[in-house]
Amino acid sequence: MKVLHIDSSIMGKDSITRDLTASIVAHIQASNPDAHVKRRDLADQEVRHLSGSIAAGFRQTGNSDFSSDILLEHQLSERLVTEFLASEVLVIGAPMYNFSVSTQLKAWLDRVAQVGRTFKYTERGPVGLCSGKRVFVASARGGFYAEGPFQNMDFQESYLKAFFGFLGIDDIEFVRAEGASKGEQIRDKGVTLAKNAITSAVAHLSAAH
């Protein structure tokens, strides 16, 4: 089993999602000793956001004259999409920043959304090419967005579900810790609930494989 472990929080050792992704990966490895894990830390090794020149490595942009540093970015785009395609399971740390995903994670997502590699266009519209993968998202929010009056402000989990669905991945599970900014007691309760959910989620993965 090939596992791609992505962290994107800027909070370092205080990050809830880093704690949760580490727990998810540990559970996967405990029940799947043959699992091979590839990790990318998008905060420590930041992926540059798309420019016309960078995107030209896998899109038709009209750009054709590239510097040596842009050619290196093209190589990085290829490595990122190759890692993504090779993975069977993805474990993604996705904190909510200002109602959406972190800019670090968005930059990575923009690199792996490649026509002809992860999706294609057809007469009936776009079709995802990545079916069969499992995605676990470690989600952390300062408030409460899963239900209640702020539910319509969730552009984090809803975006990730739509993005991976576009690539053909419909097996996506969220391990969610909410209330992180509501005081230590509420924060700890949210983290505990999330960690309790990991066991059953990974057990389901093991049963599926």
AA identity, residue 103: T
Q: Which two tokens stand for residue 50?
A: 């798309």
- Collapsing DSSP to helix, strand or coil, 195 comes out as helix
- The residues with which 95 forms a beta bridge, in sequence order, are 140
For residues 22 and 37, give the distance between their C-alpha atoms in angstroms, rounded to a whole number: 11
Q: Which two tokens stand for residue 193?
A: 């609930």
CB atoms within 10 A of CB 207: 8
Q: Which two tokens stand for residue 152?
A: 């319509």
In tens digits, the chain (209 residues) has pLDDT values of 999 999 999 999 999 999 999 999 999 999 999 999 999 999 999 999 999 999 999 998 877 789 999 999 999 999 999 999 999 999 999 999 999 999 999 999 999 999 999 999 999 999 999 999 999 999 999 999 898 899 899 999 999 999 999 999 999 999 999 989 899 999 999 999 999 999 888 887 755 55
Token look-up 């956001």 returns 49
